[in-house]
Amino acid sequence: MRPGTAVSRDDDPYASRCVDRWEAAPRRDPVVWGDGPGPLDQEQIAHYRERGFLLLPGLLLRREVEALAVEARRLLEQHAGSEAPDVISEPDSDVVRSIFRIHRKSPAMRDLVCDSRLAGAARQILHSDVYIHQSRINFKPALDGREFFWHSDFETWHIEDGMPRMRALSASVLLTENTEHNGPLMLVPGSHRLYIRCVGETPAEHHKQSLKKQECGVPSREALAHLVELGGLTSVKGPAGSVVFFDCNTMHASAGNLSPFPRTNLFFVYNSVDNPLTAPYGGLPPRPPFIGEPEPIPVGAP
């Protein structure tokens, strides 16, 4: 559970939403937290450290991906039309955009979360046991799937969920081919090394809006241009079964999907068990557990 209260804003190296103008502050945490064993080789670790992400094309076997795609469709059918708070619709329709907490809804997803190719890489990079801070499917359906605006996950997780340090990462599993046409994940390489303080006060119950369309906790256009000038832009394209790991502070976004093919990806956020949530640094009440897990139960624990 959340011990104590957050540090005061004055001492917080990752303060945000309390400034009049954006700032790029230095990252105060390692990217790769140690040199332990794991499935990634030194070249892959170096790539992740330098660029803030690592794409492993075709990491999962075809039959594994097919079974996961069936399971994702089952979850979609089961939850379509649901009023549950962890089922999010697109901003301008009833089409399902995301289903959260899938590792608790589906044994197949729970098994995947524990898979050493994913959890092992997370343990290796974060150099500790890990737990699932958040899990979801982003369906991004053909033609209906709308954009996800630029954001650093960590900024929101710190301010709205109370995550103290940059010791978390996302593993995204591509369940469909991701192409230049169906709204692939865009990343700013190297952006994980700077922390962008955002402008604007957080509205109450911000997540009810931000999960559809985020407008607070996003970088100013000058901040984004600055990061892209430094690191360029890339997008994650690959066949179904590819997995991309990206640091909690890597700036990312994805465009809408205007193609007739869905872009369905799983997202699992691994946080270090040594980095449990405290009170949110933004001062508002924490978001619900389906967005920010308050119980750090290690992945694979009985």
Q: Which is nearer to a copy of itself, 68 or 216 (CB)?
A: 216
Following DSSP, what letter does each residue of 73-98 receive, concatenated?
HHHHHHHTT---TTEEE-TTSSSEEE
Q: Are strands 148-151 and 23-26 parallel, antiparallel or unpaired?
A: unpaired
Q: Which is nearer to a copy of itself, 89 or 179 (CB)?
A: 179
Give the span between the Cα atoms of 27 and 245, in whole angstroms. Answer: 19
Nearest approach, Cβ of residue 279 and a copy of itself (Å): 33
Q: Which is nearer to a copy of itself, 231 or 282 (CB)?
A: 231
Give the span between the Cα atoms of 195 and 3, in whole angstroms. Answer: 25
Give the span between the Cα atoms of 235 and 172, in whole angstroms. Answer: 13
Number of residues that bind a copy of itself (CB under 8 A): 23
Q: Which is nearer to a copy of itself, 183 or 282 (CB)?
A: 183
Q: Does 228 bind a copy of itself (CB under 8 A)?
A: yes
Nearest approach, Cβ of residue 258 and a copy of itself (Å): 5
Q: By CB under 8 A, what part of segment 90-149 binds a copy of itself?
A: 142-143, 147, 149
Q: Which is nearer to a copy of itself, 46 or 258 (CB)?
A: 258
* H-run or E-run covering 42: helix 42-51
Give the span between the Cα atoms of 5 and 289, in whole angstroms. Answer: 18
Nearest approach, Cβ of residue 54 and a copy of itself (Å): 20
* H-run or E-run covering 142: none
Q: Does 3 bind a copy of itself (CB under 8 A)?
A: no
Residue 31, both tokens? 């990217």
Q: Which is nearer to a copy of itself, 246 or 270 (CB)?
A: 246
Give the span between the Cα atoms of 281 and 176, in whole angstroms. Answer: 36
Q: Does 239 bind a copy of itself (CB under 8 A)?
A: no
Out of 25, 111, 221, 301, the residue judged to bind a copy of itself by CB under 8 A: 221
Give the span between the Cα atoms of 242 and 198, in whole angstroms. Answer: 32
Residue 194, both tokens? 């700077």
Q: Which is nearer to a copy of itself, 106 or 257 (CB)?
A: 257
Q: By CB under 8 A, what part of segment 249-288 binds a copy of itself?
A: 253-256, 258-260
Give the span between the Cα atoms of 173 and 112, in whole angstroms. Answer: 10
Q: By CB under 8 A, what part of segment 164-203 binds a copy of itself?
A: 179-181, 183, 186
What's the CA angle centered on 250, arms 214 and 291, to 5 degrees? Answer: 50
Give the span between the Cα atoms of 288 and 42, in whole angstroms. Answer: 38
Nearest approach, Cβ of residue 155 and a copy of itself (Å): 18
Q: Does 209 bind a copy of itself (CB under 8 A)?
A: no
Q: Which is nearer to a copy of itself, 256 or 294 (CB)?
A: 256
Q: Does 235 bind a copy of itself (CB under 8 A)?
A: yes
Give the span between the Cα atoms of 52 and 193, in whole angstroms. Answer: 8
Which residues here bind a copy of itself, judged by CB under 8 A?
142-143, 147, 149-150, 179-181, 183, 186, 221, 224-225, 228, 233, 235, 253-256, 258-260
